[in-house]
Structure 1
Amino acid sequence: MIKTVCILGLILLIAGLAMIAYSFTWEADLEAMVDSIMMGREWNVTWYEVVESDGTFGEVIGSSTLPPRFVRRGITYVDPSGKEWSDAFGFEASLNIEVPRDLTVIFRAGSDDGIMLFVDGELVINGWRLRGYTIDEAEFNLSAGKHELKLKWYEWGGGQDASFDVKISDWRQAMSMRTNGGGIGFLGGFLAALGAILPPTILKRKRG
């Protein structure tokens, strides 16, 4: 009985570790696919003064670029006159991409304060409000061909954070496999250890 428990535990442990290892390989393949779509591209950014707490844009204060996938904490912007903006400012950015085939993707946009994402003019993520840093997600079907993304962000006061990322929809399954593999591996390790340390006399007493 103890030997059976130990063997079962080892099988589960190996299966769990295999699932975890495969999930990392799967995720890497999905990341490579996204990188191939985003390679050589960047957001063209126009910066604005923000005149109301609801994110109403005022005058243009400058322009810059951002990488296609980014995380920016404590954002500030120095305009052409040398003025540094850390509150009451925002941006509108555009990015053109081309996908080789029909894909279902997960857009992830984070912000403190507000953010909105448009795909080919359609509002996909709407987090346009005062808030602490929050990541919004939206699953979207991209047909093969060219697409235009537009990202709007604003900061009124407090933290100044923004992020943008894209995942292939299978990414969630890869993460689920990793989590499940961890649980199976933990159970297997526990059973294997239990089978290894459990005294045989316990079984003899039960039989008696």
Structure 2
Amino acid sequence: MPALINGEPAQDITVKVTYTKDGATKLGTGADHKGDKPGQDNTVKVTVQILDQDEDDKIVTDADQVMTGKAGDKIDWKLNSDGKLELNVPKHYVLGDNKNNPDFNNFPDRFSDPDQTYKVYVKHAKELVSAATHEGDSNYYRRITRAITQNVPGQKSTTITDSIIFTRNGVKDEVTGDVTYGKWTLATTDKEGQPLDSFKQMDFATKGYKVTITNGQGKQNLIQLLF
């Protein structure tokens, strides 16, 4: 097309070129435009939704695993060493019971229209809390001490102490922080290594004296005068 016509510059020229691939009749209808939505965003998504089994299948906030792409395109999942989808299990959770979950391990290879959502169940992680590392915490460690003071006339007072220790472990819910405690068990043993579950008997009888023993509850025992 010449730019000079009859010795004069031509008027501005606007050229529009439209390409239509063989087999496509209208935009968005041919196989080459599968999923096209003229005038709209053609992005679709697949969502792996994380549900908390320990709290009535509540959705775990900000834990969705979302992939986006065009309908028909391959989904670039990150796979683990077993060739299965590597799930982004939220911190303080572990995988729950998905044995009867039809979505589990049936994630699609390609995007499709409309958007798709797949469910995965998780449960709260549990942490064992050992009494061995919580000696100063009365929730896990209890020392019962008996102090016996002997007051013999004309002699200096003497005090004898002994103790029995009980411990228990706990299991902490890493999501809620709640602790479930186990049973108290004896942590004190005698010379033979046997559990010591009570204070040993002691003889306070003193010749020529009547002995009165008062325990922590105010009870008194009398030992008769010995000759």
TM-score range, shorter chain: under 0.3
Structure with bigger RCO (C-alpha 8 Å, 6+ apart): 1
Q: Which has the higher helix share?
A: 1
Q: Which has the higher strand share?
A: 1
- The TM-score normalised by the length of structure 1 is 0.23
* Higher gyration radius (CA): 2
- The TM-score normalised by the length of structure 2 is 0.22
